[in-house]
Amino acid sequence: MRFTVYAGATVAAFTLAACGSQPQSQQVASLTTANNGTATSSPSTSDNAERPQLRMDSSQADVNAAWHNYNVCLKDNGHVMLRGDGTDQHAGPGAPGGGAGADNPDMQDTSPASVNATKACRNKLPLQPPELDQSRNPHYLDQYHAYMTCLTSHGAQVHATDPFGSGWTYDDGVTQRLNQDQFSQVDHDCQLSSFRLS
């Protein structure tokens, strides 16, 4: 699993639990936990005023609700969705359910329906906390270093990916010492202690 930081409008949810507390595909974990998808086009600055703004101290319930609303909008507007088994389904209005993962958008799909749905739902795409936006936080890379150090010092067996500050991945060939709940707590605590605007 890989944790990826998305800047600006192409962010993923900042959920703090990289192993799947979000109901999304488990291929990539992002700085807002699991894979909540990214926008295929960047909303303009004027669109940002309507978008939900996540904060470093947002509760997991608030983060989940923001991403759920975005995913529902995508589905209602005809975005291709993932089934619980990871296969695609067209899940527009009135489409049959596809299992546990049916409300998760396939963010790799670039069909006209999915592109149009992404555009229609721009105003619902959650904004990452400004602390996690490298263009708004001049100390982001130093703080990312502190974040990675915090994770590993608390038992997370992970390492940064290139370019530095873009994400992390689990160490290969090791059994993780932390279970999902423990990792979630460590990730949450390390993010809060490492990232800040100054």
* DSSP label of 23: S
Q: How far apart, in Å, are the Cα atoms of 43 and each of 37, 66, 150, 179, 194?
A: 15, 17, 33, 36, 28
Residue 87 or 65, more confident: 65
On whether the CB atoms of residues 148 and 172 are closer than 8 A, the answer is no
% of the chain beyond a pLDDT of 70: 67
Query: SS in 3 state form for 51-108?
Result: CCECCCCCCHHHHHHHHHHHHHHHHHCCCEEECCCCCEEECCCCCCCCCCCCCEECCC
Which pLDDT score is estimated for 198? 76
Give the integer Cα–Cα distance in Å for 49 and 53.
9
pLDDT digits (tens, 9 = 90+) for 148-159: 999 999 999 999
Q: Which of the given ranges, 42-46, 96-100, 119-123, has the highest pLDDT on average?
A: 119-123
More confident residue, 3 or 103: 103
Supply 9's token pair: 């409008």
CA distance 64 to 14: 10
Q: How far is CA 78 from CA 66, 74, 108, 115, 118, in A?
A: 19, 6, 15, 9, 9
pLDDT confidence of 107, banded at 50, 70, 90? confident
How high does pLDDT run on average in the chain?
75
Cis peptide before 138 (omega within 30 of 0): no
Are 132 and 192 contacting, i.e. CB atoms less than 8 angstroms apart? Answer: no
Which residue would you say has higher pLDDT here, 12 or 143? 143
pLDDT of residue 18: 34
Q: What angle do CA 88, 93, 96 make, to 5 degrees?
A: 55
User: What is the rounded average pLDDT of the residues 100-123?
Assistant: 87
43 or 96, higher pLDDT? 43
The yes-or-no verdict on residue 35 having pLDDT over 90 is no
The pTM is what? 0.64
CB atoms within 10 A of CB 1: 15
